[in-house]
Amino acid sequence: MTSLHITRVRRRGLGVAAAAAGLFATLLTAGPAVATPDPGDAPAKKKGLSTSQQAEARAAIENGEIPGVDEIVHSKNIEHLVNIPKDAIKGTNSDLAFQGEYAFAGNYDGFRIFDISNPKAPKTVSQVLCPGSQNDISVSGNLLFLSTDSSRSDNSCTSTSQPATEKSSWEGMKIFDISDKSNPRYVAAVETACGSHTHTLVPGGRNVYVYVSSYSPSETFPDCKPPHDGISIIKVPRRAPEKSAVVDFPVLFPDGGNPGAPTNPGVSRTTGCHDITVLPSKDLAAGACMGDGIIFDIEDPERPRVIDRVQDNVNFAFWHSATFNQKADKVVFTDELGGGSAATCNAATGPERGADGIYDITGKGDQRKLVFRSYFKIDRHQADTENCVAHNGSLIPVKGKDIMVQAWYQGGISVWDFTDSAKPEEIAFFERGPLSTTTMSTAGSWSAYYYNGYIYSNDMAKGFDVLKLNDKRTDGAQRVRLNELNVQTQPDYRR
């Protein structure tokens, strides 16, 4: 176990063309964003706890078992450099992307661009108001992509929420030109079936392909009817993004996927994918698809082929995301038990639920198989007021080792080594104490990613954090420099 270093910190408190007028560098108001009512990443309303639960949380703080409200605790080998609170964009912070000396931070109300040329003092370059949960974000060249997975009145950035039962409602992909980081321009929109909960970029020369993950269809939704057993593929011409269009909807689960309850109680029924990670250098992808985990061939990006598929009907409730190791002979899948809004990092839940599942990839070509090896879950128990479960992370590119940094919502940030698939271990961590000892409200790190020598985190409530990892086991990663990083489009660090 790593030793603790405690820092006490108290915090003070439509078209596309028509939408462009609202996209100025800094916007001072932000409309509410509507979360999808489905499992996975949906912010929950504050929930009061019982008197006994509140007493337990207070006692745990007094006994030193968990940090106090707004207290920061971290291992000796992590340094917290800076926190940048939310500013004009007030919604829930979501995913991150990177390009050069810029970080792009998604938010349910839009996105924010930071200049990180000095990681100790990031500066806001622009903020764009464009509500539409969950605004999953990625960048490629001069283009920025933003997912909308809430039913909107139209595709503009001034849209309002509207029931998905309305035929005129819109959900899908928004595309911005970011050649001028201080003034992003909204240039295209593509509607996709069931919206876009997350998306993944697959580079293709003159074009970039976007794999759109969405789920939870209903017979009452005109644009999202079952079966919904695949992904939308958007082809985006780099020089003419206004011509972007869906080119296919490949079926990944011809048998319908995991049936969920009552056949498999406590497991999500597969009605699409939550997230996909691609490794273009290997023409390989891994899909976390609600009740199923898959790997598939993407040699032809418009025609992906499933190679193998696994289920865990004992401990995995919701297959959420995936990360390859550097050799592409392992995949880490995450289980978002409780949809990201429940307290699952406690003794009652145990070490195998709401955890990571580590799978070896054996065999070659179409004979490759996913073989389960072990689970990893942080062993620092959290209060019943803290939403905590495995969430978004990235590799730390250490030669010959498999090490990643990962967000755990209010469980904080964990750095862990899975070089031995059967014996993963945590080597560093950072976390804040609960927001409250009386109510449950969603907060904590949504994404924690390593980029060019630093760890960047987007905390749903507290804002943008920058951390420095000082450990001889990871020092070699500091020599690796990237010009662009979308974590779900994994680079080949071995080149």
Q: Does 494 reside within a domain?
A: no
In 178-265, where do the E strands start and end? 185-191, 198-204, 207-213, 232-237, 245-248
Q: Does 408 reside within a domain?
A: yes
Pairing of strands 170-177, 78-84: unpaired
Write down the pLDDT at residue 59: 81
Q: Are the beta carbons of 145 and 210 closer than 8 angstroms?
A: yes
Alpha-carbon span 104 to 241, nearest angstrom: 20
Per-residue DSSP letter, 207: E
Closest by Cα among 96, 185, 176 to 136:
96
Write down the pLDDT at residue 471: 98
**Residue 224 has which token pair?**
């999202």
Write down the pLDDT at residue 11: 28
Q: Does 3 reside within a domain?
A: no
Where is 56: in which H helix or E strand? helix 51-62
Count Cβ atoms within 10 A of the Cβ of residue 13 and give its class: 0-12 exposed, 13-18 middle, 19 or more buried. Answer: exposed
Q: Are the beta carbons of 457 and 394 closer than 8 angstroms?
A: no
C-alpha distances in Å from residue 446, one per residue of 242, 463, 482: 31, 10, 22
Write down the pLDDT at residue 42: 47
Closest by Cα among 229, 254, 408, 253 to 334:
408
**Residue 400 has which token pair?**
């010959």
Structural domain harbouring 400: 14-485
Using the structure block, give the residue that is written with the tokens 């108290």. Answer: 10
Alpha-carbon span 131 to 111, nearest angstrom: 9
Q: Does 295 reside within a domain?
A: yes
Residue 168, Cβ neighbours under 10 Å: how many?
Answer: 11
Q: Does 68 reside within a domain?
A: yes
Closest by Cα among 250, 163, 156 to 211:
250
Where is 57: in which H helix or E strand? helix 51-62
C-alpha distances in Å from residue 430, one per residue of 104, 379, 389, 411: 22, 13, 15, 9
User: Which pLDDT tens digits describe the chain residue by residue (495 residues)?
Assistant: 333 333 433 221 223 333 333 333 333 222 222 223 333 344 555 667 678 777 877 788 878 789 999 899 999 999 999 999 999 999 999 999 999 999 999 999 999 999 999 999 999 999 999 999 999 999 999 999 999 999 999 999 999 999 999 999 999 999 999 999 999 999 999 999 999 999 999 998 899 999 999 999 999 999 999 999 999 999 999 999 999 999 999 999 999 999 999 999 999 999 999 999 999 999 999 999 999 999 999 999 999 999 999 999 999 999 999 999 999 999 999 999 999 999 999 999 999 999 999 999 999 999 999 999 999 999 999 999 999 999 999 999 999 999 999 999 999 999 999 999 999 999 999 999 999 988 988 999 999 999 999 999 999 999 999 999 999 999 999 999 999 999 999 999 876
Per-residue DSSP letter, 338: G
Write down the pLDDT at residue 259: 98
Cross-strand pairs, 430: 74, 413
Rg of the chain taking only CA atoms, in angstroms: 21
Write down the pLDDT at residue 70: 87
Alpha-carbon span 250 to 285, nearest angstrom: 14
Q: Does 410 reside within a domain?
A: yes
CATH of the domain at 195: 2.130.10.10
Count of domains observed in the chain = 1
Count Cβ atoms within 10 A of the Cβ of residue 315 and give its class: 0-12 exposed, 13-18 middle, 19 or more buried. Answer: middle
Write down the pLDDT at residue 20: 35
Alpha carbon distance, N-terminus to C-terminus of the chain: 33
Alpha-carbon span 310 to 215, nearest angstrom: 19
Q: Does 296 reside within a domain?
A: yes
Q: Does 308 reside within a domain?
A: yes
Q: Are the beta carbons of 110 and 28 closer than 8 angstroms?
A: no
Write down the pLDDT at residue 16: 35
Write down the pLDDT at residue 276: 98
Where is 195: in which H helix or E strand? none
Q: Is 350 helix (H, G, I), strand (E, B) or coil?
A: coil
